Amino acid sequence: MESDLIVPIYVDTNALLDLLASIEGGFSIVEKVTTRRITSTGSEKAASGEASAEFGVPNVLNLLKVKLGGSLSSKKQQETGEKKEAERYHTYGSLLFRLHSFLDDKRLIKRPYESTEVWGTIVPSDFVEIHGLFRPNPIVDSLQRIDRLLELFEVLSGFMLKVSSQTPGKKGPQDEKKQMKLFRQFLQGILADIEAKNTRVFVIDAAEPNRFQIVVLLFADYLRDRTMAEIAYKEYRLLGKVVRKIEKGSDETVDLLRGTALGGVGRETLEQLWNALNQLEQMNLPQVRSEVSGPALEIVPIAVYI
């Protein structure tokens, strides 16, 4: 049990509380509930209990307070009694552990990274646990690196303008600087369109021995570190539900530009654009990739943890 303790990095609190409410018969997200019970046996012996719970979701990982109370009394001719109270505090991490334990006990979690046999049983809507390396959207990562390289070359071209002379028939440093500036404006426009304000796409490389990739959309509001520096390029586990499965060799792919302005452009046009970016003179640029091929899964995440 100790080896399975969870440190949450990302928790979709709405999904977490909805699932727990379904499992445990339901509770209100923001409510205080008080119950009393009185029973008697023999000659006027009585026991009473009181329990209350307060739930709230203003911020991720806030404390959830559960208050339990009880009393016991007995009397023959007059009442005597004793009262005891105890308070228990829960975090979203402890509730996640509770949900994970329930799903695991019921054998509802599939772990496709363990073997190809498990992969073959997965269908959409299954609960899965993934272990792998979280990489930011590769197209965004590549374009950001290109933008930084263009910025560097733009600065260097200013120095080259002072120390070099123009060669006949070749564009001078000033023309190259203008060209790079136009490319940067173009790239920044693409990045602004791809990156929504409060969401980020991550592509996860599953751990060995069964290699595949996972595409997930994470909301910044549910992250412990909203800069996303904590989660990028590190290995974590992910609990979620499958919404799409792509087999190896399938013609289907996960389009990383889906929902953006470039998403409506044909693949041939995009390839020409990427080739133009990859063949800029005097620059060794990273390869731009806008699709994820099978074997792959698209997952709605519930939590990311270690």
| CB 260 within 8 Å of CB 194 | yes
What local confidence, expressed as pLDDT, does residue 58 receive? 43
Give residue-wise pLDDT tens across range 118-146.
999 999 999 999 999 999 888 888 778 77
What's the whole-number average pLDDT of the chain? 75
45-54 sheet: strands from edge to edge:
35-41, 45-54, 64-75, 79-90
Comparison of pLDDT for 6 and 163, the residue scoring more: 6
What local confidence, expressed as pLDDT, does residue 56 receive? 39
Question: Is 123 part of any domain?
Answer: no
Question: Is 64 part of any domain?
Answer: yes
211 confidence band (pLDDT: 50, 70, 90): confident
Task: Clarify whether residues 151 and 295 are in a common domain.
Answer: yes
% of the chain surpassing 90 pLDDT: 33
Domain end (from 74, 107, 140): 107
Q: Output the six-digit token pair for 252.
A: 């289907």
* Residue numbers of the domain that contains 62: 2-24+32-107
Give residue-wise pLDDT tens across range 244-286.
999 999 999 998 887 776 766 666 777 777 676 666 555 555 5
Predicted model pTM: 0.69
Q: Output the six-digit token pair for 249.
A: 């060799």
CATH at residue 36: 2.40.160
Give residue-wise pLDDT tens across range 155-177.
766 655 555 555 555 555 566 66
Per-residue exposure over 142-158, b if at least 16 CB sit within 10 Å of its own CB, e if not? bbbebbebbeebbeebe
Task: Clarify whether residues 137 and 237 are in a common domain.
Answer: yes
Question: Is 122 part of any domain?
Answer: no
Task: Clarify whether residues 154 and 298 are in a common domain.
Answer: yes
